[in-house]
Amino acid sequence: MPSHYARYAHKYYNYKFLPDDVVIMTHPKCGTTWAQEIIWTMRSGCQFNTRLELDVRSPFLEFDSLENPNLKPLEGLVEEFKARNPGKDPMEEGLYLEIANNTPSPRTIKTHLPFSLLPPTLLDTSKVVYVARNPKDTCVSYYHHQRLVKCTEFQGDFAEFLDYFTRDLITQGPFWHHVGQGWEKRHHPNVLFLFYEDMKEDPMRELRRLNDFVGTALTENQLRQVAEHTSFSSMKSKSSTNPTQAAIEVGRFKEGEGEFVRKGIAGDWVNYFTPTLEEKFKQWVARWRHVSDQIPFKYSM
């Protein structure tokens, strides 16, 4: 994590989650934004026309500890913070943390922190939806993301990024450590473990599982509307879920490096992995076989 994570670590570990919170937990680039939009929409009573940014509706708990503190935050988030916290300085209090604190119940909270960095009592209080994605596609997507965001602004090519990824040196890694903690808790009654590839393969099936787990009691027709509303083309076209241009304007994203919502497909890794990179990847998976052997990832569909 970046060094300023130390300012917030104890706050995250002792965070007061509420009984009606739903926490979306993922390693980065595993379908988090998609799951956020789906679950928030379901829990909001199918509000399809809101223009409010997703990070306001579904706060990103620890983003204060990831974002470069010298960069200007998105204006919509600052306005929301000031409306909820009159007289407070968002840069001092923690913009994203305070938005989470002041989000009305029922809250849908996003985090890339693993279970070990959050309260040990989390599952005694709240529900967690853990979303996992095969590590090859995760690596490709994270590579593009790390080149896009100014808080890292990765300069190298994919081969160099995969070298860091397979040496467990990326921000918010290691991958297997994170996903392994989620997999261990998959049978807990307050955990729903989803695979990104399953969501792509049959969205309605996974929406039904979410409907039962979260208790939203939506009809089949409402679930079809949610599926359409949260389709890749729909999410890519909306600034509330794809804030690329706004983030470029305030200096948080690098221009010319694609978009926050990029391809949204499964199996794109075949366009990046050479035989040499494939061998390096296999060696990394083998080193983590005590975790990797347990999780039935799909690498093609």
Per-residue pLDDT of the chain (301 residues; tens, 9 = 90+): 989 999 999 999 999 999 999 999 999 999 999 999 999 999 999 988 887 888 889 999 999 998 877 776 777 777 877 887 788 777 777 888 988 998 999 999 999 999 999 999 999 999 999 999 999 999 999 998 787 776 677 788 999 999 999 999 999 999 999 999 999 999 999 999 999 999 999 999 999 999 999 999 999 999 999 999 998 677 665 655 555 566 655 556 656 555 555 566 788 899 999 999 999 999 999 999 999 999 999 998 7
- Phi, psi dihedrals of residue 110, rounded to the nearest 5°: -100, 140
Q: Which residues pair with 127 in a beta bridge?
A: 22
Q: How far is CA 195 from CA 8, 111, 189, 191, 297, in A?
A: 30, 17, 17, 13, 8
The separation between CA 183 and the C-alpha centre of its own chain, rounded to angstroms, equals: 16
pLDDT at 89: 76
Mind spelling out the 3-state secondary structure of 26-52? ECCCCCHHHHHHHHHHHHCCCCCCCCC
Give the start-to-end residue ranges of the domains of the chain. Answer: 3-292
Q: Reply yes or no on whether 188 is catalytic.
A: no
pLDDT at 215: 97
Torsion (CA) 172, 160, 259, 252 in degrees, nearest 10: 60
pLDDT at 210: 98
Lookup: tokens for 285? 């998976």
Q: Determine which one of 27, 112, 144, 145 is catalytic.
A: 112
Mind spelling out the 3-state secondary structure of the chain? CCHHHHHCHHHHHCCCCCCCCEEEEECCCCCHHHHHHHHHHHHCCCCCCCCCCHHHHCCECCHHHCCCCCCCCCHHHHHHHHHHCCCCCHHHHCHHHHHHHCCCCCCEEEECCCHHHCCCCHHHHCEEEEEECCHHHHHHHHHHHHHHECCCCCCCCHHHHHHHHHCCCCCCCCHHHHHHHHHHCCCCCCEEEEEHHHHHHCHHHHHHHHHHHHCCCCCHHHHHHHHHHCCHHHHHHCCCCCCHHHHHHCCCECCCCCCCCCCCCCCHHHHCCCHHHHHHHHHHHHHCHHHHCCCCCCCCC
The separation between CA 164 and the C-alpha centre of its own chain, rounded to angstroms, equals: 20
pLDDT at 28: 94
What would the CATH number be for the domain defined by 3-292?
Answer: 3.40.50.300
**Separation of alpha carbons 120 and 72, rounded Å:** 33
Q: How far is CA 147 from CA 71, 84, 155, 186, in A?
A: 16, 33, 7, 32
Lookup: tokens for 122? 């989390």
